[in-house]
Amino acid sequence: MSFLSKNKYLFVCGILLVGLIFITVYEPAGRLGTPGFPEITTSERTYNLTEYPSLTNEIIGMYNYFRSILFGQGINEFENIEPYIGGDAMLLGPGGDSGIRYVLAFLMYGMSEMMETTPGYRDPAYYQNTSDCVLQKMEAPKTKEYWNKSSMLYGGKSFYQFVVDHYGVPPGDYEGLKYTNIMYRGHWALMEALYQFLFNDPKYNTTLTEQLSLLYEEMTNSSYPTYTTPGVPCEPDQLFVQCNTIQSLAFKIYDNCLNTSPTNYYSAAARLIDFELANMTNEDGLFVNGINVTKFVNGEPDYVDDFDSGYTQGWSIAFINAYNQSIAQQLYPKFKSAYVTETVYPGILGELAYMKEDKNIDPFSTNIMDFAFSLAANGFGVACAKEMGDYQIRDGILNWLTHYFTPKWEGNKYYMPTPIFEGLQFVFNMIVYWAQQEWVNLGDFTQRRSPSFWTQPFIADVSNIENIFINQATYDESNSAFILTCSAATPGNITLTNAGSGTVFSKQSSGWSTQLNGSNLTIMLNNGGNYNFVIEF
Amino acid sequence: MAEKEARSRWKIGKESIFPLILGLGIFIGLEVLFTILNLPIQTYYYITFALVPAIAVPISFGAKYGPIVGFLVGFGGKFIADLILYGGIWIWWPLGFGLMGLIPGLSKYYRGKYTEGWNLFKISLYALAAAFLGTLVPSMLSVFADQLGLFFPILFYSIPLFFIAALNGVIIAPIMARGLEYLDSKMTLTESKETPPRETLHLNQAGVLLAGFCFLLSSGLYILKYVFNTEGSFMGCGAGAPFGHEIAGDIGIALELGIYIFLGIGIMLSVGLVIRAIFPKK
């Protein structure tokens, strides 16, 4: 007894300790946990659901977070999408713009991978409308206005005016959709290609085909007004490897999966990458950040602007891996060796990986901008590691990148608030969202779907898309079975079409029932909860 | 009156062996246990909260047994724990934990010192200084070791670890030091001459014990519930709603109810005890 009674302070410490425990262990209110993926045995065979692509509830929740922001405003509005600092748009450089196109494009790439993880979930209200919305925002005036507005590094001229004056092209291309400006055109084309790949909807086919044709011309036809090299410049006489990986992937997707008559746009990309490896690499065999194309056209073909850049490597290798895996696999180890540091901060972060923007950076740098650029490099680095399937590096970067930002559920939305960098919250979550998807990478979009894909059974309607999360939705062609796992916060219905002859098996013996209506099979979830189904045909 | 004979704190002898082994054992045990438990690290704005009680071990041992024992407990404990947990040695961080043990050891000590509230409060102040230096020094050294520039180790190691070390040190180290004093007074190896209390406290002893027991039980249940928090399971019962946790069925409900009940009793008792302490019966 005397042990405690002597010290009030001890008592205070005890109360504080309890408070510390509660603050530490407390988690904000969450949704249901991600369902398990068990084995389901039918009369025919046993299905191990862990072998089928799946989404966690956190990934779905992050997607809902993006949707809520995208649909919460008009097409030409970008509140909480456009990066900002101190209430003003965060500019990419003096006189530059905020790079909304990049935010939309990289969001689309991450979202497309998520959508392809559950290819049997085709309620247009959930996936297709969102992709369409992102594309519409990509085409919105505010996204494209930088071309005729920005005066970055071009003596007060806009990009548009510079192109007109420098290349002598006819005026009128105020949005930069015909000449140079690969920093917009490449992303736009790839986004349209992904949209058509995912939804078999030709809505953007005309502009996609037109844009790819223009880009192909600009890369291969030496009489094209802005032809300088086998690549397309952007700023507008700087040629960047990373920016040119985007239309290269779009070419590959179009040639392999979308065209109705044979095309070989990709040949331009193959020629370009040979050029880049020959002319745009440094002593490590890795890419330099960018070259001024006038060096080539003015008779200095050996000149390379040796601008060292980790983000260039991360971005470039991530996308090259999708259309030329062997080159990406040669570059990636060199990239890791030159730019990535793996270390351990025992006790707090544990194992971590850190990417330098400049591999020759002063190791004891006290320049905050070196650190800021390296943060950007890590954003691309984590995506690159994910695309390359290097989960050790990916997790090592995510480990510290997410350290300060405790994620939270807000209704059906899941995200990491970033109070320190409020204006970068959308971008930050977008990076984490993309990096965490393991089942699909960009290269999967270059594989043509089977001819029967669009007539297979699929989910055509979910009665409550906000509260019924579809974690698995895949048609197993070899076993003629549809794999469905969902996490329902509320009761509701899931309707499959082309599914009239289906027999439903589930891990859960109660809480659901089925109804057949012609070729539609409706699974009625009578209670909230997690469900696993196999529907055999 | 307490016998305040300041002894040389820089000497170690046979009598230091047992505290050293005890300290190392407690440090390694706590560090390994809590790393395996993998309790979340919560960050609210810039302040990082995490339960890392091992940090308090070198601080309290340093305060009680001197700077050398404190340093060795922190340095050796972290060294061995890293070896067990990560299979490697990162010398700067054991050094930092060693410093955390060394700094409180710089204060004078006399037997029974940490039976007094004011001295326990001073441990908290030393813990604050120890947390600051013990995290800053290894972070700065790691700038040279890892060569990641200045900002990365400061932002992602020094600052979060400082808050964690400060919170755990300030709160837990006095409790541990008091426990060590108690242990010392009960040990047959050393003579127990615990100093008498200097002030009369108006706390009901049984009440304090009961409240403490309730808090501890509630905390224990909370940790247990976290361990039981099974991914993929769902508790479709309103009992889980206030915290919104997903826990495994009936066990989860029982644990959750237990947490609330014991927490409630503990808070009520504490409030009563504080009121009684402020307004004692004549």
Chain B touched by A373 (CB under 8 Å): no
In this prediction, residue A297 carries a pLDDT of 62
Cα–Cα distance for residue pair A494/A514, rounded to 1 Å: 10
Query: Per-residue pLDDT averaged across B149-166, rounded?
Result: 86
Neighbours of A392 (CB within 10 A): 11
A458's enclosing H/E stretch is strand A458-462
DSSP class per residue in A244-262: HHHHHHHHHHIIIII-SS-
Tokens 């808050």 label which residue? B163
| Of the candidates B273, B252, B179, B260, the residue with the CA atom closest to the CA atom of residue B217 | B260
Instruction: Name chain A contacts of B231, Cβ cutoff 8 Å.
Output: 33-34, 36
Q: Answer yes or no: are the C-beta atoms of A434 and A106 closer than 8 Å.
A: yes
Tokens 């696993």 label which residue? A532
Report which DSSP code applies to A282.
-
Q: Do B205 and A33 touch (CB under 8 A)?
A: no
Percentage of chain B lying above the pLDDT 70 cut: 76
Contacts of A12 (CB under 8 A, 6+ apart): none
Residue A535 has pLDDT above 60, yes or no: yes
Average model confidence (pLDDT) for chain A?
90
Q: Which B residues, 210 through 239, put their C-beta within 8 Å of a C-beta on chain A? A: 212, 215-216, 218-219, 222-223, 226, 230-234, 236
Percentage of chain A lying above the pLDDT 90 cut: 69
Of A291-295, A452-456, B214-218, least confident by mean pLDDT is: A291-295
Task: Please tell me whether residue A523 adopts helix, strand or coil conformation.
Answer: strand
In this prediction, residue B205 carries a pLDDT of 67
Query: Per-residue pLDDT averaged across A367-385, rounded?
Result: 89
In this prediction, residue A300 carries a pLDDT of 56
Q: Identify which has the larger pLDDT, A104 or A93.
A: A104
Cα–Cα distance for residue pair A227/A316, rounded to 1 Å: 22
Report which DSSP code applies to A284.
T
Taking only Cα atoms into account, the Rg of chain A, rounded to an integer number of angstroms, comes to 25
In this prediction, residue B230 carries a pLDDT of 39
Please, what is the angle between helix A8-25 and helix B159-186, to 10°? 140
Helices (H), chain B: 17-37, 56-65, 67-86, 92-102, 117-146, 151-153, 159-186, 205-228, 249-278
Residue A96 has pLDDT above 80, yes or no: no
Contacts of B274 (CB under 8 A, 6+ apart): none
Q: Identify which has the larger pLDDT, B258 or A251.
A: A251
The string of pLDDT tens digits covering residues B13-72 is: 777 788 899 999 999 999 999 888 878 777 777 788 889 999 999 999 999 888 989 999
In this prediction, residue B257 carries a pLDDT of 77
Report which DSSP code applies to A494.
E
The string of pLDDT tens digits covering residues A120-135 is: 999 999 999 999 999 9
Percentage of chain B lying above the pLDDT 90 cut: 26
Dmax (CA) for chain B in angstroms is 66
The CA-based angle B173-B179-B185, given to 5 degrees, is 140
| Mutation to test the B interface, candidates A348, A357, A421, most B Cβ within 10 Å | A348
Of A17-31, A64-78, A99-113, least confident by mean pLDDT is: A17-31
| Of the candidates A109, A91, A84, A201, the residue with the CA atom closest to the CA atom of residue A151 | A91
Q: Which two tokens stand for residue B96?
A: 């930092």
In this prediction, residue B190 carries a pLDDT of 47
Q: Answer yes or no: are the C-beta atoms of A496 and A59 closer than 8 Å.
A: no
Position B282 confidence tier, pLDDT thresholds 50, 70, 90: low
How high is the ipTM of this complex?
A: 0.74
Q: Identify which has the larger pLDDT, A243 or B253.
A: A243
Query: Per-residue pLDDT averaged across A374-387, rounded?
Result: 94
In this prediction, residue B183 carries a pLDDT of 85
The string of pLDDT tens digits covering residues A265-276 is: 999 999 999 999
Q: Do B232 and A7 touch (CB under 8 A)?
A: no
Query: Per-residue pLDDT averaged across B136-162, rounded?
Result: 83
Cα–Cα distance for residue pair A98/B26, rounded to 1 Å: 53
Q: What strands, in cross-sheet order, belong to the sheet with A458-462? A: A458-462, A492-497, A520-525, A512-517
In this prediction, residue B226 carries a pLDDT of 61
Q: Do B149 and A30 touch (CB under 8 A)?
A: no
In this prediction, residue A326 carries a pLDDT of 96
In this prediction, residue A73 carries a pLDDT of 96
Of A112-116, B99-103, B148-152, B259-263, least confident by mean pLDDT is: B259-263
Q: Do B150 and A36 touch (CB under 8 A)?
A: no
What is the amino acid identity at position B241?
A: A
* Three-state helix/strand/coil letters over A150-190: CCCCCCCCCHHHHHHHHHCCCCCCCCCCCCCCHHHHHHHHH
In this prediction, residue B249 carries a pLDDT of 52
Q: Identify which has the larger pLDDT, B14 or A255.
A: A255
In this prediction, residue A295 carries a pLDDT of 62
The CA-based angle B112-B117-B121, given to 5 degrees, is 110
The string of pLDDT tens digits covering residues A453-496 is: 999 999 999 999 999 999 999 999 999 999 999 999 999 999 99
Task: Please tell me whether residue A386 adopts helix, strand or coil conformation.
Answer: helix
Q: Answer yes or no: are the C-beta atoms of A418 and A371 closer than 8 Å.
A: no
In this prediction, residue B247 carries a pLDDT of 39
| A236 preceded by a cis bond (ω within 30 of 0) | yes
- First-to-last CA distance in chain A? 73
Which contacts qualify for B270-279: CB closer than 8 Å, 24 or more apart? Answer: B270/A15, B270/B211, B272/B207, B273/A11, B273/B203, B273/B204, B273/B207, B273/B208, B273/B211, B276/B202, B276/B203, B276/B204, B276/B207, B277/A8, B277/B201, B277/B202, B277/B203
Q: Which A residues, 24 through 53, put their C-beta within 8 Å of a C-beta on chain B? A: 24-30, 32-36
Cα–Cα distance for residue pair B54/B27, rounded to 1 Å: 5
Q: Answer yes or no: are the C-beta atoms of A58 and A27 closer than 8 Å.
A: no
Residue B203 has pLDDT above 60, yes or no: no
Query: Per-residue pLDDT averaged across A492-514, rounded?
Result: 93
Report CA-CA distances (Å) from A514 to A37, A370, A469, A503, A504. Answer: 21, 59, 18, 10, 8
CA distance A18 to chain B (A): 7
In this prediction, residue B201 carries a pLDDT of 46
The string of pLDDT tens digits covering residues A153-204 is: 566 788 899 899 888 999 999 999 999 999 999 999 999 999 999 999 999 9
CA distance A529 to chain B (A): 7
Instruction: Name chain A contacts of B234, Cβ cutoff 8 Å.
Output: 32-33, 529-530
A495's enclosing H/E stretch is strand A492-497
Q: Do B120 and A371 touch (CB under 8 A)?
A: no
Percentage of chain A lying above the pLDDT 70 cut: 93
Neighbours of A500 (CB within 10 A): 14
Tokens 């001295």 label which residue? B119
Report CA-CA distances (Å) from A58 to A62, A410, A442, B47, B150. Answer: 6, 11, 21, 24, 33
In this prediction, residue B234 carries a pLDDT of 30
Length of chain A in residues, anyone? 537
Tokens 């544990």 label which residue? A350
In this prediction, residue A391 carries a pLDDT of 96
Q: Identify which has the larger pLDDT, B89 or A483.
A: A483
Of A495-499, B98-102, B276-280, least confident by mean pLDDT is: B276-280
Query: Per-residue pLDDT averaged across A240-263, rounded?
Result: 94
SS3 content of chain A, % helix, strand, coil (to 5): 45, 15, 40
Query: Per-residue pLDDT averaged across A501-530, rounded?
Result: 93
In this prediction, residue B258 carries a pLDDT of 79
Q: Identify which has the larger pLDDT, A149 or A318.
A: A318
CA distance A258 to chain B (A): 39
Residue A514 has pLDDT above 70, yes or no: yes
Q: Which B residues, 103 through 162, put their C-beta within 8 Å of a C-beta on chain A? A: 115-118, 120-121, 124, 142-144, 146-153, 156-157, 160-161
The CA-based angle B240-B244-B248, given to 5 degrees, is 55
Report CA-CA distances (Å) from A207 to A53, A75, A178, A202, A252. Answer: 32, 19, 12, 10, 17
